[in-house]
Structure 1
Amino acid sequence: MNDIRRYLYGLLLLCFMMSVGTDNMIAQENTTQQSMPSDSLAAAKLQELKKRKEAKVEYYSIKDRLAFRANMVSWVLATPSIGVQFDLFPQDYNKWTIGADVKWNPGVNQTFDPQLEYKMLDVKVEARKYFRESLTIKPGQKRMPKYWRAYYWGVYAGYTDYTIHIRNGFEGSHIGVGGTAGWEIPMITFATGALDLDLGVNAGFMFGKNTKRTENETKTGYNYRVKGWHFTPYPIISEIRVALVYRFMSVKGKYNRSKR
């Protein structure tokens, strides 16, 4: 009987010692975790969240960020126009672009004083930001959002040198700065790219000089009135745009995602 008691007492003592040891291990682990700086834990969590977010971002190639355009209004007015546009950042949520356009008609060389003469050189650089209408339809809203359109606004700066004579007329040059606005619509999708339509307008202020030519009273020559460098006192429409835009990735799939 005494042996059984000794055995039970020993078993209880062993269980007590194991319990105390386990409590000490848990307390030591909690102390170690608490000793880690809280900012380090926050930084680790932030880094993990950042990695998850970046994993969802798509990056476009240089080819997919390019666009080539031609303003049909300029071509109809005998001034060939060509331009290029490039997405500023490669992420799929980027909505900023930079671009440049050139319009040029060299005219013809003539050895006599012509009644009809037209020459034009226009160089422009611009920055645009694209956006789309919200697809959320509010209560009572009857109009369907035009989700297929990509709207834009931006700024431009350019230089123009021109000669426009139809008997009377002007010649001169100016520097222009102002704003641009419009929208783009997807038209045709090819196996290797897409054709979009760009409808927009440019308007701004000009700083330039010009010479006005008028026919004199005898109809045998011209009078010229020179006006030096001056600012226009009000904004002037500098371009009406109906342009065809070729992209390797249609505007239908671009500029419609928000930053994650």
Structure 2
Amino acid sequence: MSAGGGTTFRKERSDAPDGFFAAEAAGLRWLAEARGVRTAQVVAVESAAIELERLQTAGPDRAAARAFGRALAVTHDAGALAYGSPPPGVEALFIGARPQPAAAEKTWGAFYARDRVLPFLAPAVAAGFLTETEAHVVREACAAIARGVFDDGDVPARLHGDLWHGNVLWTPDGVVLIDPAAHGGHRETDLAMLDLFGCPFLEDILAGYDERHPLADGWRDRIPVHQLHPLAVHAAGHGRHYGRAVTDAARQTLALV
């Protein structure tokens, strides 16, 4: 349940898992420390609730989008201790309402395959949204990723981790981010999430990002690789369409190998 009034906004969930709102609060603060993209300020956090500053929204525009892209690059460049590392003081990580593992990997591929894609396949199959044959294709793609086919030597970036357009709030003062699944990962993962569900003025966001931190050659080709995680999460609980989509992304990934 969400409620609020005045200058704050309160989210409550009586069945919140242990550490759920603590992880959200820590993620917002950790991202804010990067002094890149602004995040919603945490006013208070409890085991079953979080209270945030109330934000005034505004329509998106190209200038704000470009500024967002530049700021996102700054946030990413603030870095993380390792691939999969959580914000300081956090033990439990979540993507939406689903738990996901923390890690301390030196290489991105090993972390991403093991901790961001594979954990969601069994629930997707059990839900009837992914077939065993399709799951095999996704596992093949994960095996290639885990071997390091897409490791590029970039250092772990400070990721929002759930950067779909619903977590991008446009305000009179620019973009403010909410609801992170913050961890150390690959910068292209946040950008692939923006692309997955669409974001206003995406090309302007990307142009601003590239101004601040030039993107590696071929990054657009690798978008399906980085979309495997959110698609697997959705395949675990949001319908058969996502089972087909994660399989298609896996086939595109294998085509790059």
Whether TM-score is above 0.5 comes out as: no
**In proportion to residue count, which structure has more strand?**
1
Report the TM-score when normalising by structure 2.
0.20
Higher helix share: 2
Larger Rg: 1 or 2?
1
**Bigger relative CO (Cα 8 Å, ≥ 6 apart):** 2
**TM-score, scaled relative to structure 1:** 0.19
